[in-house]
């Protein structure tokens, strides 16, 4: 995996691949029926997050898995009204997969993910 560039907007992003969506409905149902057991939910696999210190946060460019470098966050918010500018929580399992992909690509994962 490498950085991709949107030539129209001159913005680089990293497309991560996580196979978590297949169980989203099952995990989402468990999350929704568990009451206050979780503080949030992984946007990829739908599993509940029990503590924020075990979660990762990312900023997406059209998708939670199209990770934008932290240096571009302000620009993303100001210039790209139609893009997805939200913060996304990744649970520990999905977050670790994304972190490994960033490291394998030779990138500093701390520039793309927050803990």
Per-residue pLDDT of the chain (115 residues; tens, 9 = 90+): 678 988 887 888 899 988 877 889 999 999 999 878 999 999 999 999 999 998 999 888 778 888 888 888 877 777 765 555 578 899 999 999 999 999 999 999 999 998 8
- 55, 91 contact by CB (below 8 A): yes
Domain ranges of the chain: 3-114
Q: What is the pTM of this model?
A: 0.85
DSSP element (H, E) containing 40: strand 40-41
Concatenated DSSP letters for 42-89?
-TTT--EES-GGG-EEEEBSSSTTEEPPGGGHHHHHHH-TTS---EEE
**∠ CA 24-100-63 to the nearest 5 degrees?**
45
The pLDDT of residue 75: 78
- 71, 111 contact by CB (below 8 A): yes
Q: Which residues of 20-42 are buried (b: 16+ CB within 10 A; e: fewer)?
A: beeebeebbebbeeeeeebeebb
């Amino acid at each position: 995996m490498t950085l991709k560039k949107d030539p129209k907007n001159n913005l680089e992003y990293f497309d991560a691949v996580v196979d978590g969506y297949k169980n989203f409905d099952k995990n989402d149902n468990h999350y929704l029926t568990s009451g206050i057991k979780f503080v949030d939910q992984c946007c990829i696999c739908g599993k509940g997050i029990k503590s924020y210190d075990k979660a990762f946060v990312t900023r997406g460019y059209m998708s939670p898995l199209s990770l934008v470098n932290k240096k571009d966050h302000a620009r993303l918010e100001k210039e790209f009204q139609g893009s997805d500018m939200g913060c996304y929580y990744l649970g520990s399992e999905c977050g670790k997969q994304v972190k490994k992909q960033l490291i394998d690509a030779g990138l500093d994962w701390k520039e793309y993910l927050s803990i």
